[in-house]
Structure 1
């Protein structure tokens, strides 16, 4: 049985969906896959190292055009594909009728979070219903996204959870943050780390606003903001305006392979995410919380979207009830810094939970069952 994967989101282009799709495919038998993807810089060298065939459409964006439909159908016929997987169902799921005509019997499409905004808008909602109608299974990443999608889709297809997973061999309590601490002059200070793009939804601005309250109780503490993004200049100005240059570090972007050591440099992980734009800007799940937990760190999350699903409240960390409130965020952070033993216990519990529920081994089994429900 062979699966045709149709995706615009595929390495070497970087992003969460790209990482998700590549990790799923890495755990499938190589001979069972053929991939149709768009081009991005470095694709030739990347594809040459893969154990399965990748066909690149000669554009930087894969869309459900007649030409792409013909190409996808031709691949399905040539390789005898009986299943198909759309790395992002919207809009490529519109290719489903062409693939059924080519002999594909079972079609699965993934959603990732942004689709919750689609179903809030009348025109996009109708398009999502049309896409879902053509699929045998539409996946969702969290209970939050399911609850937003299901009413709009009205039972037109089966829905099943397929969340991203964590590489528990890469994100591990054995990760060493010493070099990161040395690079940024953190020494042995208690460190709160946030690893994420610097955008308003993630809440780094609230962390900075909360930080003077944390310093009032823990004057040696440091805040490590890891990542780049459009909010960076504003955050640097805010840090300077509050006189926090000695205690707040912005690293800028870091390579993906260095993320474990940046999680490990913190004693507590915090990202008080919040929903914005009337629900159109929302956290679908929040893999950073699970990666931090896999590294043995207690996590502090916000209430946006599926983020609370990544935390076992009071066991692996805390969800701040009002993530827009610097006072509320500071209270949770100081509580964890006050009791390092409790924080370490939460980190240990978080690691165990990720291994049990969120490892790629578990997720890969779910993916296999969705592709081949009859075994």
Structure 2
């Protein structure tokens, strides 16, 4: 039977980020996988009218900048469920919008699925939020987890009956978009890098991502690889501190803050690099942790070895010693050692990059993720 799906999320283009990518890629693929249709209910964002006009399915924008599980939003979601004759509901991020699940079941939803990413780990560890997460897990049919590390944290917080209904849902990569021959030469010319070794980091600039460890690592890396440059793609509240750190460390000429790049141009930035690194780390006693890290998979699909921080589920996005390395994101010198090893042994780096792309092609595709969602939405 064709599935008619209502996707409810705050994380949808033109906003950028890992969860936004997750929701978008599922939305564009699910109709083809299920033979049905998708409707997206999301919050407003700058540039949303132009972005929505290019999509082959309806996107309903709420007047609010952030959807919350209020009575008004619950009523609107139920109206959309009936208007578009949807029989399945997917919550793009389980918390907090999964709190709408009970009401939508009463409104006619036959099957509900809530996707967890990284922030639900915080909910699982904080007493008040944990109770709300337990409620979500009871109300939805399936609560997903990204991998073993995130699944273990969530299970410890949930009642036994909810644990039994959990399922792994891994993200994917568009391997036709992210590939080694995606126009990297143009980016190098734009940056004036020539043939200089390039370390790339793509992330939101917040302390958890470990960009400061990369900046500090450049003080050691410039000794081993004098021409190496660090290029940081992204924006965020930590940018001013990071720029000041680069100046204090005397590596301003070796660190490029490139800002946010469009989704269309991003593959070329990966293709321009020699190594990808994001030494993420846990913060606030583990309340802030990386869920997985789609950027690591995008980099691997682009043929790059990856240097991954030991935070949350991030180590599951690399085969240590085969497609890259797991590092301590609080130790800039060890980060520098791994980067130096990869940049001074290009043959080994290329072999890791090839292994990473082969692994992504085998195990991390969006088509596989969409098929998995369709399976989980089928009544048992």
Instruction: Tell me how far 1:373 sits from its aligned partner.
Output: 5.1
1:359 counterpart residue number: 365
For residues 9 and 128 of structure 1, what CA distance do their matches in structure 2 show? 19
1:6 counterpart residue number: 8
1:16 counterpart residue number: 18
Is 1:83 aligned with 2:68? Answer: no
Alignment CA distance shift 1:78-1:303 (3 Å):
same
- Structure 1: gaps of 5 or more residues: none
Instruction: Tell me how far 1:105 sits from its aligned partner.
Output: 1.7
Which of residues 298, 302, 305 in structure 1 aligns to 2:305? 298
For residues 248 and 57 of structure 2, what CA distance do their matches in structure 1 show? 53
For residues 43 and 253 of structure 2, what CA distance do their matches in structure 1 show? 45
For residues 46 and 200 of structure 2, what CA distance do their matches in structure 1 show? 32
Deviations 1:253-303 (A, max 9, x none): 322322111112211111111111111221111111111111000011110
For residues 25 and 172 of structure 2, what CA distance do their matches in structure 1 show? 8
1:236 counterpart residue number: 243
1:279 counterpart residue number: 286
For residues 297 and 38 of structure 1, what CA distance do their matches in structure 2 show? 35
Is 1:262 aligned with 2:269? Answer: yes
Which of residues 90, 93, 100 in structure 1 aligns to 2:98? 93
For residues 246 and 54 of structure 1, what CA distance do their matches in structure 2 show? 44
Secondary structure class of the residue paired with 1:213: helix
Alignment CA distance shift 1:222-1:137 (3 Å):
same
1:1-375 aligned at under 5 Å gives the runs 1-29=3-31, 31-157=36-162, 158-320=165-327, 322-372=328-378
Alignment CA distance shift 1:32-1:311 (3 Å):
same
Alignment CA distance shift 1:75-1:227 (3 Å):
closer
TM-score by length of 2: 0.93
For residues 248 and 39 of structure 2, what CA distance do their matches in structure 1 show? 53
Deviations 1:163-216 (A, max 9, x none): 221111111011121122122221112222212222221112111212222222
- Structure 2: gaps of 5 or more residues: none
CA contact 1:129–1:156 (8 Å) conserved in 2: no
For residues 44 and 227 of structure 1, what CA distance do their matches in structure 2 show? 23
TM-score by length of 1: 0.94
Secondary structure class of the residue paired with 1:3: strand
